[in-house]
Structure 1
Amino acid sequence: MHKYFHTIVVGGGCLGVAAAVSLARRQGARNRVCLVEKAVLGAGLSSRHSAIVRSANASSIAATLAAKSTGMWKDLSNLWGARVACDRVGGIWIGAGSPSTDDPNPWRDLEVSMKGVGVDLHAIDQAEVGRLTSGKLRLDPDELYFFEPEVLQLEASDVLRAMQEAIAVNRVELYEHTRVEQFLTDGQGAICGAKTNHGELRCDFIVNAAGGWSANLFAPLGLRIPVALEPVYAANWLVSASDLPENLPIIADYVNLAYFRRWRGSILHMHQPRERGPHGIAASFARSMMNPVGADIIYDAANYAITQQQSARYSDKVRERFPAVGRPIYGGGYVSYFDITPDLKFILGKDDHVANLFHVLGAGQALKYAPIFGELIAELVLEGHTRDWDLEEFSIARFTDKPLREFWRDEGASQSLNRL
């Protein structure tokens, strides 16, 4: 005997939860949505993010979506029925380039682009940086500084609690410790269900929110889901409370290639940004293709510590940007991953081969987009289109019949801007 659902969402991270909750809420009393997770809710990359919500992005559409999502995070109780605390700390972006020259610079171009779509990202001088950070940052005349006031800081544990509460409040049927072993098809190219280790589930629609597991999961159907995993190292440093201002903005340091945030009292949390060089992206895809355990590498116990070499390198970055800290005390670190696509844009929308399959894959940016992506997937599934957004830029169709190497040929783009 199998169970029937209107929609099966595969993947219990923040995007899967957002999609399931939005679908369930819109269906109301007719709700028949289930969420299938091979481990436990939030056990994958959603358990290791730094919980920063920002909007500035090289893609104008992505920036607009992120700004919309930021507002949703602030009002999550009305959207999901679960509240999450949001600290509006703002974010300081640090890029290379002297403010005394009018030479073309991608950071200035980004400021103009963001102004055009209503995202507040504006240049600030060293005096303003000093005021915002209580003079704790080392500044350089050959750097540019921008401030994004709407950047939010969340807590990962609070986000996980909100995800769990939202699933319960909206009556999404949750299947944890449930592996999809095979997708069932109707003989006409549509997926009609899934065979799992806990029995068969039947459905009208499937939403793929499985992130790094997507490629292996859908390969038996002949589908190519171009997602790979890029390792990212995070470290926590114990510093004196007097060395960090109480309301330290997020510091996105693209000179030293590190994000910094104040965390849990006086801990300085840091992680590296995504790799944007073509060779680095290609290397991540090569590693993923050669990895026999696939995305399950995320659960490898060895990933819960970083090496001495990595720790030393990060310590240097802390001392370079926060000179008052002196020699920071290492308070623990871990390896996380970005799930990336060949062009580093997310995959959002209908599959181009299977009519009732939809993808919501975050390309390393899942958290900040989760509320708006959930709403967009619900619109696509229930109405067949989105009312206010053109998502063609993020369609999986852009990869159809195109060798992945084509996405890594152009190395002329500015790497500092492309890291956003």
Structure 2
Amino acid sequence: MSPAADVVIIGGGLEGTSAAWNLTRRGVTDVVVCERATVGSGGTGKSSGIVRCHYGVSSLAAMATSSLEVFENAAELLGTEIGFHQTGYVVGVGEPNVDALRTSLAAQRAVGVDTEEIDASAVATLWPAARLDDFAAFAWERRGGYGDAYSTAQAYAAAARRAGATVRQGCPVAQILVAGGRATGVRLADGSTIGAGTVVLAAGPWSVPLLAAHGLDLPITVHREEIVLIDPGVDLGVVPVLSDLVSLQYVRPEASGAILFGNSDLSVPSPADPDTYSNQATEACLERAAAKLSHRFPGLTGAGVTSCYAGCYDVTPDFNPVISASPIEGLIIAAGFSGHGFKISPAVGRLVADLVVDGHSHDPRIPASDFRFTRFAENDLLRSPHPYVGAGEMR
């Protein structure tokens, strides 16, 4: 095979480029990233970019809080700003979820998350336009906010290149090559091959057929999610991200002054083909957004839709990712992020680098076993011990 690399990464989105950058930080610089189109052109480019650590799964909370170091220090660590806005993050719940919120906050603090419970008067100061009377409790993360996933992937890729990695765009992978039960490289769509000591598969939903060719079932389904951008009609000032687990929506400010609306009700999936899905919100989505926003922000009578788009989640049965060695020696999987990939992407790259170099996680708060590929066949799904009634996927 010619050429060859120590590590070939399939996929140039957030997770693949973060893995490349983190590998170079571990001294592995003979890395080739194969991206079928351009860096960040898949699910990464459609991310709503929420940054939060509010997870009931402790390892995810730890990944999110450890990732903040990169978001907060991007200019130093990555060589450029990445569009991170540290507005803070509020999550509000109804009466049935108060105990789960408080128990989850304690567990989050145990792994280093800077979070606290605050009262309605504090939230009213943070979000003066919001109706709060149907909430029963709130949590606040001062270090939360939102960012630009596309810019972040570009920054990972550029930092990896400066350290010696190669990022090949317009380079689709057709096959993972395996000999004697071990991954030996990849075959590209043009028929050429790249040999590798290790292959990292980080291609989102496109990971599934590459594994299926070797008899491995990665249980990912593709869910289409719609985003609506709203002109509030007034200057809201600086407001935090709000995760509304009563109306099941999330809203965050845009730097332009607009509001980004996303749906948090994932109980009814919207299956899609990641190559052919519609990029427009449906009429039903627009009506749902209008109803939810009118309920939560009744004073914004002059608000109106400015634009909309859709993206796809690569969703596993437990809505948690696979970051794991596979049954094929030398093949690492990082896929199935279920809409959570941006906020944990720095930690994902570190964990992938740990698995490649040492075969285990170096952070005791983030056991690799939590994200193992085999958990689905074992019927041992990764679930929050503090689930929210009606919003389980929020964790």
TM over 0.5: yes
Is 1:221 aligned to 2:214, yes or no? Answer: yes
In the other structure, the counterpart of 2:315 is: 340
Unaligned 5+ segments in structure 1 are: 289-293
Of 258, 263, 271, the match for 1:272: 263
User: Is residue 82–residue 165 contact of structure 1 (8 Å, CA) maintained in 2?
Assistant: no
In the other structure, the counterpart of 2:374 is: 397
User: Is residue 21–residue 80 contact of structure 1 (8 Å, CA) maintained in 2?
Assistant: no
Q: Deviations over 1:236-255 (max 9, x none)?
A: 0112343x1x2100010111
**Equivalent residue of 1:256, what SS?**
coil
Of 378, 384, 389, the match for 1:414: 389
Change (3 A) 1:210 1:233: same
User: 1 or 2, which has the higher helix percentage?
Assistant: 1
In the other structure, the counterpart of 2:189 is: 197
**Equivalent residue of 2:37, what SS?**
coil
In the other structure, the counterpart of 2:121 is: 127
Aligned residue identity for 2:233: S
Q: Mapping of 1:11-410 within 5 angstroms? A: 11-27=11-27, 31-97=29-95, 105-133=99-127, 135-186=128-179, 188-198=180-190, 199-242=192-235, 244=236, 246-273=237-264, 275=266, 277=267, 280=268, 287=271, 294-297=273-276, 300=277, 303-351=278-326, 353-361=327-335, 362-389=337-364, 390-400=367-377
User: Is residue 7–residue 33 contact of structure 1 (8 Å, CA) maintained in 2?
Assistant: yes
**Equivalent residue of 1:296, what SS?**
coil
Question: C-alpha displacement at 1:197, in angstroms?
Answer: 2.2
Question: C-alpha displacement at 1:261, in angstroms?
Answer: 0.9
Q: Deviations over 1:132-179 (max 9, x none)?
A: 12x211111553222121103213453244244324323321222222
**Equivalent residue of 1:2, what SS?**
coil
Change (3 A) 1:232 1:116: same
Q: Deviations over 1:339-381 (max 9, x none)?
A: 1110112111211x11101111223211111111111211211
Aligned residue identity for 1:216: P
In the other structure, the counterpart of 1:291 is: none
Unaligned 5+ segments in structure 2 are: none
Q: TM-score by structure 1 length?
A: 0.86
Q: Deviations over 1:397-417 (max 9, x none)?
A: 112365x9x999xxx973335
In the other structure, the counterpart of 1:6 is: 6
Change (3 A) 1:160 1:115: closer
User: Is residue 21–residue 157 contact of structure 2 (8 Å, CA) maintained in 1?
Assistant: no
User: How many equivalent residue pairs?
Assistant: 389
User: Is residue 52–residue 152 contact of structure 1 (8 Å, CA) maintained in 2?
Assistant: yes
Q: Distance in 2 between matches of 1:85 and 1:306?
A: 25
